[in-house]
Amino acid sequence: MRTIWFDMDGTIADLYGVTDWLPKLRSKDVSPYVEAKPLLNLSLLARYLNKLQTLGYTIGVISWTSKDGDHDYDCAVRDAKWDWLFEHLPSVNWNYVRITSYGVSKEKWMKATDDILFDDNPAIRDRWIGDAYPPDQILSVLKELLHQE
């Protein structure tokens, strides 16, 4: 079963567009994760994901906590990211949501070598064993997958 994975920050959620996001994260403020706006049409994304699941794909999120976080802040970040997903993509029944410590290898969560990853970080995409794409290709790649089935 092929899994389609999504990073959150900079991929589906505009964390970096939140005013003063970095100073806020460094002061252990989770508000940027809450305030981040969607980076694409989430209604269309949800429709594509739900259709792909009916075709046998599984879907997941692999996202990191903050770089300078401690245990308590990491827990707060995880909660904020879960809340963001449920607020912005309530119709999506995620098979996996992995919000892991900053820097943990995302390949660790792969289910198969043909898994797909959408991530804004080129270095992470380069290390990914399966197909990996930047955020601006999310909808076109998903649409193509739907047309292949």
Q: What is the pLDDT of residues 29-58, one digit of tens each?
A: 999 999 999 999 999 999 999 999 999 999
> What pLDDT digit, counting tens, does each position of 13-22 carry?
999 999 999 9
Residue 149 above 70 pLDDT?
A: no
User: What pLDDT does residue 112 have?
Assistant: 86
All structural domains of the chain: 3-148 (3.40.50.1000)
pLDDT of residue 94: 97
Indicate the average pLDDT of the chain: 95
Neighbour-count burial of 127, counting CB atoms closer than 10 A to its CB (0-12 exposed, 13-18 middle, 19+ buried): middle
- Label residue 112 exposed, middle or buried (CB < 10 Å: 0-12, 13-18, 19+): exposed
DSSP-assigned states of every residue in 75-125: HHHHHHHHHHHHHH-TT---SEEEEE-TT--GGGG-SSTT-EEE-S-HHHH
Nearest to 102 by CA among 70, 148, 149, 61: 70
Q: How far is CA 25 from CA 3, 84, 143, in A?
A: 30, 16, 35
More confidently predicted of 59 and 109: 59
For 80-122, what is each residue's pLDDT tens digit? 999 999 999 999 999 999 999 999 999 988 888 999 999 999 9
Tell me how far apart the alpha carbons of residues 32 and 25 are, in angstroms, rounded to a whole number.
Answer: 8
> How far apart, in whole angstroms, are the C-alpha atoms of residue 62 and residue 41?
20
How large is the average pLDDT for residues 68-76?
93
- Number of residues in the chain: 149
Q: What is the pTM of this model?
A: 0.95
pLDDT value for 118: 98
Classify the phi-psi angles of 22: left when phi > 0, otherwise alpha if psi is within -120 to 50, otherwise beta: alpha
